[in-house]
Amino acid sequence: MSNPDDLSARCDALVAFFADAPIKATLGLILSFDEAGRAVVDLPFAPHLCHAMEDVHGGVMATILDTAGWFTAAARYQTWIATVDLQIQLLERPKQEDLVARGTVLKAGRSLAVSTMEIRSATDRLVATGTASFMVSDRPI
């Protein structure tokens, strides 16, 4: 998609698609896109997302990294993409703050897309980073 209007429309459609996703309600995620079509995933802090040491579980952070990378890449396609590889680096604890994950597309090829992602705290600390690869299918969303 090279037309910015097409990208904007695709982003709007993906936000609507995400509205009914069970994981959205379970975690309390808020999906939006910036002006460049990069996904922004807000995670308000909630105690039910914590591990025994009372901070956001690493698996939750992995999920929002994957979500940010997937939606950033998905905005470039008219078909379904599937995560095939996800690597994360948990850099420091979230300190019970709201978190924001953002994705950036490194490659949007015919059969493979690659995104990088980061999570920042409400005080703008870099909490986690990640890289993900997505297989591009011919299945329409």
Residues 46-65: tens digit of each pLDDT: 999 999 999 999 999 999 99
As for how many domains the chain has, the answer is 1
Domain region containing 99: 4-140
Give the model's pLDDT for residue 5: 73
Strands of the 30-33 sheet, one edge to the other? 30-33, 39-43, 99-108, 112-121, 126-140, 79-90
Q: What is the CATH number of the domain that holds 133?
A: 3.10.129.10
Joined together, the tokens standing for residue 1 give 């998609």
Residues 115-139: tens digit of each pLDDT: 999 999 999 999 999 999 999 999 9
